Structure 1
Amino acid sequence: MLTDYERKVLRILFNYSSGRRRLPTIHELTVKTGKGEPDVMAALDALIAMKYIHWENKSDISTLVILEGWERDSEKPVIPKINSSSPAQSNDLRYWTDY
């Protein structure tokens, strides 16, 4: 599962590549994320380890390849669903008139 910061870096990479037809520089990543270069590099290393990106020549960010632009569904946290029979979820007006 990606951390919020890793997810943010991945989305910035994807959005730059699709919108601007280029990848952001390390400096642009530091500006967009508000973190320093070591944090950006750590996030990129984590994305490499989890196979979201491929980046052999780490001296040139333009050689980075995005393998997946979104977090995998199997890794997303499961959000519990509210019971559909609860008064707050039903469209029944009894909730507002009986309580």
Structure 2
Amino acid sequence: MLNDLDRKLLRILSNYINTKGSAPTMDALMRKMGRKEPVILRGISSLQSQGYIQWQPPWLDTIKIIEAWDRDAPTQLKVKPKIKPSDIRYWTEY
């Protein structure tokens, strides 16, 4: 399971590459992550070692996304909604 920093970095990289067609610059990553360059580089190398991305250092434009989502993340919500889908009170009382 990815830690919060790695998960955020993976989502930023995936969304950026899917929308812009290329990897972000280091300045863009620092602005979006709110972290300094060494922390981001550690996160990128961590994602590479876990098999989420392919990367040939030191160029960020060589990043390729292999898996865009955390493979060990839970798929079920832990919180149950208060209103059941079949509950008609929503339509009659509000």
TM, length-normalised to structure 1:
0.73
Matched, 1:69 2:68: yes
Q: Which consecutive aligned stretches of 4+ in structure 1 deviate over 3 angstroms post-superposition?
A: 77-83, 88-91
In structure 2, the residue matched to 1:35 is 35
- Give the counterpart letter for 1:76 in structure 2: A
- Tell me how far apart the structure 2 counterparts of residues 17 and 80 of structure 1 sit (CA, whole Å): 28
Does the C-alpha gap of structure 1 residues 78 and 26 become closer, same or farther in structure 2, counting only changes over 3 Å?
same
Aligned AA (1:64): I
Identical aligned pairs, as a percentage?
Answer: 35
Residues 27-48 of structure 1 deviation map (CA, whole Å, 9 limit, x = unaligned): 2111100000011011101101
- For structure 1, the 5+ residue unaligned runs are 92-99
1:49 aligns with 2:49: yes
Alignment of 1:1-99 (within 5 A): 1-56=1-56, 58-72=57-71, 75-77=72-74, 81=78
Q: Which has the higher contact order (CA 8 A, sep 6+)?
A: 2
SS of the equivalent of 1:15 reads helix
Distance change in 2, residues 1:67/1:79 (3 Å): same
Bigger-Rg structure (1/2): 1
TM-score, structure 2 normalization: 0.77
